[in-house]
Amino acid sequence: MNQDTGTPTAPRVALVTGAGSGIGRAVAQELARTGWSLVLAGRRAAPLDETAATLAADCLTVTADVSDPARVDALFAAADDRFGRLDLLFNNAGSFGPRGVPVEDLPYDAWRSVVDVNLTGSFLCAQAAFRRMKDQRPQGGRIINNGSISAHSPRPHSIAYTATKHAVTGLTKSLSLDGRPYGIACGQIDVGNAATDMTADFAEPVMDVHDVARTVRHMAELPPGANVQFATVMATNMPYVGRG
């Protein structure tokens, strides 16, 4: 039983994208700690294996490029074969793209790469999860999208990342609306500077990545009738409103 809600915790199967490092690894560790079975997805096998080695949980690792529809189909087919259902998708894979590049100098290929991973990848994984959650019995599940403070307030020279994170908010709202008839809840966590490799050279304050992971677990383990639509978790002293 879930000690917080009194609801059954089995079966609980979560698929985490971008699970080889950073927020994805921390969330996988937190979910494993509370009894979830896990599918870990990422572009490279070695980091996924490193994450899996830290988990005391039933775990499957799958290398996948979330921007490739065929690879996403294969990822979710592998999850089906192993576990037979899906209770949670943590849509976490993302790319910041080149940093500090003025909008007039941003190459098209760089723009497209960020859009393909952050937006198209999130859509493809959400679509695949939605199909399974709609058809499985018992029906339903939860999707949590990793947004960003940049879904609200951009950094200078980050147009591709900012545009995709604003778009992820629209994705979250649409999934929430369309999932209602099928018991599929969708929420978004907007993170302000968790201490990971991605933020290693940031001048802004950072926070422990495990504080993010605990927040995701709270969202994931709510009963089906409750949903955190949007949560902002950030380092206390980082800029937010009026940043730039």
Residue 167 has pLDDT above 80, yes or no: yes
Q: Is residue 6 part of a domain?
A: no
Q: Cβ(93)–Cβ(75) under 8 Å?
A: no
- Residue 44 is part of a domain; what is its CATH number? 3.40.50.720
Q: What is the pLDDT of residues 45-98, one digit of tens each?
A: 999 999 999 998 899 999 999 999 999 999 999 999 999 999 999 999 999 999
Query: Residues 200-211: what's their mean pLDDT?
Result: 82
What does the pLDDT read at residue 5? Answer: 46
What does the pLDDT read at residue 243? Answer: 53
Residue 196 has pLDDT above 90, yes or no: no
Q: Is residue 83 part of a domain?
A: yes
Catalytic-labelled residue, pool 108, 161, 182, 240:
161
Residue identified by tokens 């969708």 is 186
Q: Is residue 1 part of a domain?
A: no
Rounded distance between C-alpha atoms, residue 244 and residue 25, angstroms: 30
Q: Is residue 239 part of a domain?
A: no
- Which residue range forms the structural domain that includes residue 179? 13-234
Q: Among this protein's residues, is 161 annotated catalytic?
A: yes
Q: Is residue 116 part of a domain?
A: yes
Confidence of residue 7 (pLDDT cuts 50, 70, 90): very low
Backbone angles phi, psi at 233, to 5 degrees: -125, 120
What does the pLDDT read at residue 8? Answer: 45
Tokens of 71: 């690879």
Grouping H, G, I as helix, E, B as strand and the rest as coil, residue 77 is helix
Domain count within the chain: 1
Average pLDDT, the chain: 92
Least confident of 128-132, 141-145, 182-186, 198-202: 198-202
Q: Is residue 185 part of a domain?
A: yes
Q: Is residue 150 part of a domain?
A: yes
Rounded distance between C-alpha atoms, residue 64 and residue 164, angstroms: 20
- The answer to whether the pTM exceeds 0.75 is yes
Confidence of residue 194 (pLDDT cuts 50, 70, 90): confident
Q: Is residue 47 part of a domain?
A: yes
